Every structure is written in structure tokens, then in C-alpha cells.
Structure 1
Amino acid sequence: MAEIRDEAVLKAVAHPLRRRILDNLRVDGPSMPSALARATGQAVANVSHHLRVLAEAGLVEEAPELARNRKEHWWRMGDPRLTWDPANFSPEAAEAADAIGLQRQIDLINTWLGSPASRTEPWVHSAIAADFWLRLSPQELAELGAELEAVVLKYRNRPEREDREPVFLMSRGFPARP
């Protein structure tokens, strides 16, 4: 897992389009700017600019071995798992990154809920939405997070099959009052 410690890198990740580009590279693997532009509804030049910003931040890299000719420019992610400790950054930078991440999650949820697939088989009974109230210490919450990550990693990087689609899984745990 790559831990972000530099505020410039955190700012690079916090941009909404860059988050979408990273998500596409996580799910679909290496890609060219033209394919990422189609996937995000952006101009190729705009996507290319944001790929360069992500590359300067060390989050993506060129994959020249995938190019069939000198006109093709392929990009891939380094480590697809990114984390950061808000205590390492200014409160403003950490809040901005968290807000962009949360908005991305909300956008994905709203897109799913607005899609016909959310109300039809086979996904209508497969999709999960759950919330729980637990009484935990900070250490217990950290342990729960590690256990959940271990379960999720068991399902990561499964080979493609006709019945498998990209699935977004979200979990959050934090102290709160009802």
C-alpha cells in the first residue's frame, strides 16, 4: 500500500477528474489517454494533462512496452492502494482530500441507485448496503478495519469472467452519535 506523505501528492489525488482517472486505471488496468477521455467524458488533452500531474506525483507511470507504435502512450498505476494519515497534512489539505473522496463515493452511489440494474436481477439481490452501530475503542476500530481489508483483499484481482463486473465497495468507521 502506498502511503501519501507529501501534500502536493495529496492535492494531486484530491482532484475529482484525477480520482476518476485513477479509478479507471485501478479497474481496467493500463490505458491510453484517448480511452480514459472516453471513460470520463473529457477531452484527450485534458486527460493527458492530468496524467502528467499524476505522474509528477508518482501515482502513475508510462507503460511504453504496451505501445504498438510511437503514437501510442500507455499509462498504468503503481500501487493501486493509496492511503494517507490526515495528521501529516494541514487541516485544509486533509479536509479537501476527504471531501473529494467522499463526493466521489456519493457520486458512485447515486449513479448506481439511478441505474436500472439496481432494480433488476441479478444485482438487485446481490448489491449490499449496510450500516451498523458498534461500541469500539480506537484500537478495536483499527483491528476491525484490518480484518475487513483482509477479507476484501481475498476478492481483489480475480480473473475476468463473463459474470464478473467491477464492483465498488465502501466502508467507513468513525466515532459518531445517532
Structure 2
Amino acid sequence: MYDAGIQQVTDSRVLAAMSHPLRRRMLDVLKVHGPSTVSAVAGLTAQSVANASHHFRVLHRSGLVEAAPELARDGRERWWRLVSTGWRWSSRDFATDPAGAAVAEAAESLNLDHHVRIVRTWLSGSVESRGDWAGSAFSMSNWLHLTPEELAQLSGELGAVLTRWSNRPSPGEDDERKPVFVFAYGQPGEP
């Protein structure tokens, strides 16, 4: 394991809760912006506060977020934070339960849809709207010949690189850093 803060998901109910497209976006908001109020997350995801509150309760029951009452300025404010820095799951963990296997299959598809949506949103803008970031964004792929063990090793190495970059100190006020989405997939395939 390359990051002790990553939670291994083996409960199909938790996997279903985190795979819902809106809840996934809410988890991303907390990952990018840190602990937040229901109303702030609702605004960032274009949802009503009532809807966001409902989905936070689902995430809380699933052990994915926890209340952060110490951040509230008054009794009406409801703050939430992530319980883990991230999550991983393996379809293999759900293979013996047909319902769990169906959830894992759907979660994989929804996860890919989520990743592609983020990239497509970026690509839908004009080169001018991307500013200085247009020359920095990247896409890369390669065909490798690997064993299952080597693919697992590659996953660990890539994960360690991403963890190292995500654990860097927070930027200063003059820093031009902004959230950058990076993802990689590695699975057997044919051209």
C-alpha cells in the first residue's frame, strides 16, 4: 500500500454510496477544498442545500465523511470532512456475491465516466480560455507487456508518485497552483 490514508472498500453498500455521481462529486469537493459546509458544497455542485444534506447523510452512514462540528460558527452551520484521503477497491473482493459483483461492475463504469467527464469538461473549453495551463496539461498512454504482478507493481509506483505530489506543502498566497486532476488506468486490452 502506498498511502496509509487510503481506505480499502470491501462493503458493496459503501461502494454503492461513493459511486453515485453526485456523491462522488461531493467527495471530490471535500478532497480539493477540504472540510466544508453543506451549503458551500451545494453551491459548488449546483444542488439544493436539502439535496446535498441528504447525500451527506448517506456518505456519513457509509463511513466516508464525518461531521466537523468544531468548524461551525453557529448551531445552524453543518460542516463535513473526509474520513480517508482516498479509496480503492477490487472487483475480486465482490466476486463471490452476485449483488456485490453487480455493484462493483457499476462502480467501475461510473468511476470511468466520472474521470472522463472531468477531462471532457477541460477539453470543451477553448485554448484561449485555458490560458497558461494549455501548454502544461498532458495526456499520455503506452502499450506495455506485463504480468499481473508487474501491473500491480506499476500501480503501486504510480500511486506513490501521485501521493508524493499530493502531500507537498500547501501553496503560498503568491503561488499559481490550482486543482489539477490526474488519473491513470492500466488494464489488459487489445488495440
User: What residue number does 1:9 align with?
Assistant: 14
SS in structure 2 of the partner of residue 122 of structure 1? helix
SS in structure 2 of the partner of residue 2 of structure 1? strand
How much does 1:119 deviate?
Answer: 6.3
Q: Which runs of 5+ in 2 are unaligned?
A: 1-5, 95-99
Q: 1:36 aligns with which of 41, 54, 75?
A: 41
Q: 2:140 aligns with which of 130, 134, 150?
A: 130
How much does 1:142 deviate?
Answer: 0.8
Match status 1:109 vs 2:122: no
How many residue pairs get matched?
178
Give deviations 1:36-86, integer Å, cap 9, x for gaps: 011000110000000000000000000000011111110000112101111
Letter in 2 for 1:58: G
Structure 2 distance, partners of 1:147, 1:118, is 35
User: What residue number does 1:153 align with?
Assistant: 163
- Aligned residues: percent identity? 44
Match status 1:54 vs 2:59: yes
How much does 1:92 deviate?
Answer: 1.0
State whether residues 117 and 123 of structure 1, in contact with CA within 8 Å, keep that contact through their aligned partners in structure 2: no
Structure 1 distance, partners of 2:130, 2:44, is 24
Q: Which runs of 5+ in 1 are unaligned?
A: none
User: What residue number does 1:173 align with?
Assistant: 186
Under a length normalisation based on structure 1, what TM-score does the superposition of the two structures give? 0.95
SS in structure 1 of the partner of residue 66 of structure 2? strand
